[in-house]
Each structure stands twice: as C-alpha cells, then as structure tokens.
Structure 1
Amino acid sequence: MRSREHRSLDGGLAVGRRAVRRTLAATAVASLAAVLAACGGSSGGSSADSTPSAATSAVATLPAALAGKTLTAAADASYAPNEFFDTDGKTVIGMDADLIKALGTALGTKVDVKNVGFDDIIPALDAGKYNIGISSFTDTKEREAKVDFVTYFSAGTSFFTSADKPASVKTLDDLCGLTVAVEKGTTQADDATAQDGTCKTAGKPGVTVSQFPDQNGANLALTSGRAQVSMADSPVADYQVKLSDGKLKLVGTPYGTAPYGIAVPKNSGLAQPLLTALKALIADGTYKQILTKWGVEDGAITSPQINGATS
C-alpha cells in the first residue's frame, strides 16, 4: 500500500499507513462498485444488481441545473481523520472527502472538494459560492435556519490534555479556571463559552476560551502549554491522541452525542438527492467501508434524514 501523510498535532506532517486513492470514478453509468475500488477495496457486500437502480433513483432527483455538472464541496482541512490535506498540501482527503465523492458518483457527477475555513463555510453556501459543505458539522436547529442538512454520522465531544501535565477534567464543570483551546465556530467553542458563564455564576473562576481558525491552531496551543485542555469531536480527539506518541491523553467522558450533517443551501433541491444517494451507499456497504477505512466506524448511522437536529 502507498503511504499517506496527515497533519500532526503541531500542524506538521507525519507518515500514515493506509493508502489513499485521490480520485473516484465519475461517469453517470458507473456503478457504486467503482466507489469501492476508489476507496481501497471491493469488499463490503455491494450488489451490482441493485447499484444501478439506486444510482438512477438518486440522479433522477438532482436539480436539472446541476445534472452532469461538477459540484463544489467546502471542507476545513484541519480536522483529521475527517478532512485534512494529502501529501501535496492541496488535495483534501479523509472520511468526509471520500464520502462526498462517493455520493457524487451515485448522483452521476463529480465533486470537487475545496479547503475553506470552518467558520466561513455556511456563509459561503448562503452566498452561492459552493454547492455543499461537508466538514464535521453538527446538525443544530440554529444552523438549520441557514442551511439544510443531510445527517450521515454520529459523534460526541471529547476532552484531551497533555500527558505529562494532565488537567483534571471529567466534565464541563471541571473547566472552571482553565484555558481551553477550541476551533472557532464549533459546538465546542459554544460549549466552552457557555461554561465560562456557568462557572462565574457559581462563584468559580471562569473559563479562558482560546479560539483558533482551525483545529491545528488549537492543537498547537495545547502542545505548547498555552492551554491546559482541548475539546474536539470524539473521532478527531481520538485520532489526535493516537498520533501524539504518548504526548497527549484523553480525559473525562465524551458528552453531547449528535448527528453530523452534510450542509446544502436552504431549499436548494440538493438535500433529497443526497439523502437518496446516502441510503444507497448504506444499503450496499460502501458507506461502512469508507468509515472503516478511516477508523471511525463507531459513528456509523443506519437512518439518515434531512434536518435531524433535536436542539
């Protein structure tokens, strides 16, 4: 297998083990079995007989203005293993990149994944700069007011800290008096900021919330000692700790399990085609294979939906 490289905790590059195929078959007549090959294998229980009809059903619901055209998807490439840069420093790879390209194949179109700052993606969708946003977005009622979501994954939030000087953090209540490094615009940033108020109301020291444009900046703050703890989606926190050579450790208990959603402009007509295509990928095993490839299969869901936020 070819080696790949991923962003390490300090924003540098580290060698990984699994091969990455950078492109997926993109012709409308290709079956989803081509996606399996593009993702590194042909196992997973896909059915050649059922694939064409599933793909045809998804294509049939695609808005006419987009049929056969390359769709653009925005992702913040600082959140490994979900979305990050390949060795060339330009190509966005990861679970989200593989999944959206597989969905594009099911829709009979190509998907071009662009690196965009996390906090800029939803405004850019609203402005018509991109067709899709796929960047580990938690589907929330607040975000649903601006975009439509198709749920595709489930994740909570985990705490991680320095291994040699670990912060004693089990829950959000333990953040009082600490400096927390988070990515701007995330639910973790919202949670840490809310906890600051909770701590002060209880007469305790507040939380110093250091927000960064991307997760790499938050990681660097932690490893350089400028923060005592960081918070990230559970699969991302797990990945960072595994790559740290024992420098970091998970602490506390994950909380707030919620669905990830693929974001599309409000009332764009893209949500239903993506939902149909995703159901086909789940049914034939392609979806599970992609998640397994990136080690995040624990977050797999079986019943995706449009706008599935509960809060």
Structure 2
Amino acid sequence: MRNPWTIPVAVALLTLAACADPQTSAAPKGNDASVVAFDTSANQKHITSAKVDSIAAELPAAVRDSGKLVVGNGSAGGGLPPLGFTADDNKTPIGVEIDIAHLAASVLGLTPEMQTTSWENLFLGLDSGRYQVGISNIGVSELRKEKYDFATYRLGLHAFEAKKGSGLKITGPADISGKKVAVSSGTLQEAILLDWNKQNVAAGRPPAEPKYYQQASDTYLALESGRIDLYLGPNPNATYHVATAGKTEIVGTVSSSYPVQGLVGITTKKDNGLVKPLADALNAAIADGSYAKVLAKWGLQSEAVPKSLVNPPGLPKDKQK
C-alpha cells in the first residue's frame, strides 16, 4: 500500500489552541504516545454517538432509507497502523479511520459497511458509486476538489522522531541544521526537508544531511544506533511506533502541507448530497466529546480539529504529487 502522506492536504492557516504556530511545533502536547495501549482485537467496540434526527434528515432519501453507509478504506494488504489496518484475526479492519466511519454513521443513524481496497481502487470505487464515501487519510487538494467533496476531520501532520532521551526539540529549520535526517524519497517529507535546508543555507547555517533507507526497519535501526539524528515521517505512524517499540520519541511536528496547515477529510463524489450531513455529524460528535475519545484511543489528540469544514482551501494544484 502506498504511503498515504505522500499526497497530503493544505488549507488556509488555522489557529490552534495547542500551539502558536500551526505549521511547526515541538513534541505535541496533545499526544502521549508512550502510554497509549492500542487495542488490536477484532471484537473491539467502536466509539459511537447518539443519532441526531435533524442531521439524518439532511441525507439523500435513498441513503437514509437504506440504513447503511458504504465506506471504502484503502488499507488492503494489512494496512498502516493506527490508521486502517487488520486486527489480530487477520481479517477485521480496525484503526482510527474505521472508528471515524462508525462515529459519523452513528450520528446519521446509519450502519457503516466497511469495504477494504487498494488506494487506487478506492478512488475508482468512489467514481463508480461502489463506495458512498472514502475514509482513508485522504487529503484535501484543489485537484481532488474538482471531482470530490470533503468533510474534514483531522489535521495532516508529519513528526520528527528521535532516539529516546535525545534532548532534541524541532520547531523550525534552525533546529535541524547540521543534523542527519532520514526521509523517504519523493514524499512531501523530503520536500519539507529540502525547503528547510534552503532556509538554513540562506541564513548562513549548515543544512541538514538527508538520509534515505529502503525499509522502515533500516531507518529505525539507524535512528536507535545513532547513525542518524532524526526521522521525518507521518505523525500517526510515528505515534504508533513510539508506543509499541518504546525506543524513540516525537520531538516535533510539522504540517503535511508546510507552510500551510494540512487537513484530512471524509471524501464523497462531488454533489452527491452527502458532504453537509457528514460534516454536521462530525461537528455533533466534536461537540459531545465522542470525537475526542476516538482520537485519544489511537494517540492522535494532536491531530484534532475544532470544527469539520466542507471543502476548505486545499493543496494547490502545482504541489499535488
């Protein structure tokens, strides 16, 4: 499965309560990955909310009458924890994206029908109507908005991961000057690193030294042995790794669409009538606290949004990967 952050999102700058600068911050205060205990069982209970009749009434009649919401999730092949991945029984889909599907559907009075597919087939399924919505870390972009509608539910963040006890705090380009930083080739993480290097050189500081590894296991071995100082990768992946391996820590985050803040959204075929009730359902869940419980379950509190937005400004077309 392809890395879902290689095609992230962008929106106008958001004011976040947790930090003054929404594009970069030190280790996220909302996360405590070291104490997250991930439930990977197949029979786990999904966090839901009460049905709101007035929001359910906004649904297209055919969807409301069917009683179900057909959800495509691009986590085929085992998935990517803690987003969408396979439970201990090797068949049941679990993760924050699956829980978001159950949460939104519960407010609408619908039962989610989860269908796991590949990333490419997810969009083909949306186009054909096989899936009514896609919930799979899909970033808002101006190019995608030509075909799809979005109801946002998470920030798009990358995380700087370091060996536990490193003492590093990354809040901007100066903090990586002279450091050895691992990134994956061709990703937006690499683009951020190269952009920060340009800023460091312009300011008379030594650039960071990019490092590339073929496998995540090789990257983490280099990090733990001290051969590299930092690894810049998707925040959810880093959160899961920190909690399960116990040898590293998150020392800073940066927007997936630096220098503007990225957003991830529930995705539907354009003008199919679903995006407003989905956003209203998410906002009801935000208001009653159930949304916060979902993110806390997967250690992703730092990616919480204060409000679900419909089709906000997205990643510019010239930056779409």
Task: Quickly name the TM-score band, shorter chain normalised.
Answer: 0.5 to 0.7
Structure 2 residue aligned with 1:296, among 290, 295, 300?
Answer: 300
How much does 1:114 deviate?
A: 0.9
Asked if structure 2 preserves the Cα contact closer than 8 Å seen for 1:138 and 1:260, the reply is: yes
How much does 1:83 deviate?
A: 2.3
- CA offset digits 1:37-95 (Å, max 9, x no partner): x436x9xxx66xxx35245325x336559833550322336443232221122222111
Amino acid at match of 1:53: D
Asked if structure 2 preserves the Cα contact closer than 8 Å seen for 1:54 and 1:277, the reply is: no
Between 1:159-168 and 1:108-117, the stretch displaced more is 159-168
RMSD (Å), alpha carbons: 4.2
Q: Does the C-alpha gap of structure 1 residues 179 and 138 become closer, same or farther in structure 2, counting only changes over 3 Å? A: same
| Structure 2 alignment gaps of length 5 or more | 1-35, 316-321
How much does 1:283 deviate?
A: 3.3
Say if 2:97 is the partner of 1:90. no
Amino acid at match of 2:151: V
Q: Does the C-alpha gap of structure 1 residues 308 and 53 become closer, same or farther in structure 2, counting only changes over 3 Å? A: same
Q: Does the C-alpha gap of structure 1 residues 305 and 169 become closer, same or farther in structure 2, counting only changes over 3 Å? A: closer
Report the counterpart of residue 139 of structure 2 in structure 1: 138
Structure possessing the higher relative contact order (Cα contacts under 8 Å, 6 or more residues apart): 2
Asked if structure 2 preserves the Cα contact closer than 8 Å seen for 1:158 and 1:252, the reply is: yes
Asked if structure 2 preserves the Cα contact closer than 8 Å seen for 1:62 and 1:270, the reply is: no
Instruction: Give the whole-Å Cα distance in 2 for the aligned partners of 1:130 and 1:189.
Output: 32
Instruction: Give the whole-Å Cα distance in 1 for the aligned partners of 2:113 and 2:272.
Output: 17
Asked if structure 1 preserves the Cα contact closer than 8 Å seen for 2:201 and 2:207, the reply is: yes
Asked if structure 2 preserves the Cα contact closer than 8 Å seen for 1:62 and 1:107, the reply is: no
Q: Secondary structure at the match of 1:130?
A: coil
Structure 1 residue aligned with 2:265, among 261, 265, 268?
Answer: 261
| Structure 1 alignment gaps of length 5 or more | 1-15, 25-37
How many corresponding residue pairs? 267
Instruction: Give the whole-Å Cα distance in 1 for the aligned partners of 2:183 and 2:265.
Output: 24
Amino acid at match of 1:56: A
Structure 2 residue aligned with 1:281, among 271, 274, 285?
Answer: 285
Report the counterpart of residue 305 of structure 1 in structure 2: 309
How much does 1:304 deviate?
A: 0.8
- CA offset digits 1:117-149 (Å, max 9, x no partner): 4x6644553455533222223323343234321
Amino acid at match of 1:74: N
Question: Following superposition of structure 1 onto structure 2, how do residues 1-311 of structure 1 map, counting pairs within 5 Å?
Answer: 17=37, 19=39, 22=42, 38-39=45-46, 51-54=51-54, 56-58=56-58, 60-61=59-60, 64=63, 67-69=66-68, 71-76=70-75, 78-105=79-106, 106-117=108-119, 121-122=122-123, 125-126=126-127, 128=129, 130-162=131-163, 171=172, 174=176, 180-182=182-184, 187-188=188-189, 190-192=191-193, 210=212, 217=215, 219-225=216-222, 228=228, 229-246=230-247, 248-255=248-255, 256=258, 257-309=261-313, 311=315
Q: Does the C-alpha gap of structure 1 residues 89 and 298 become closer, same or farther in structure 2, counting only changes over 3 Å? A: same
Asked if structure 2 preserves the Cα contact closer than 8 Å seen for 1:63 and 1:270, the reply is: no
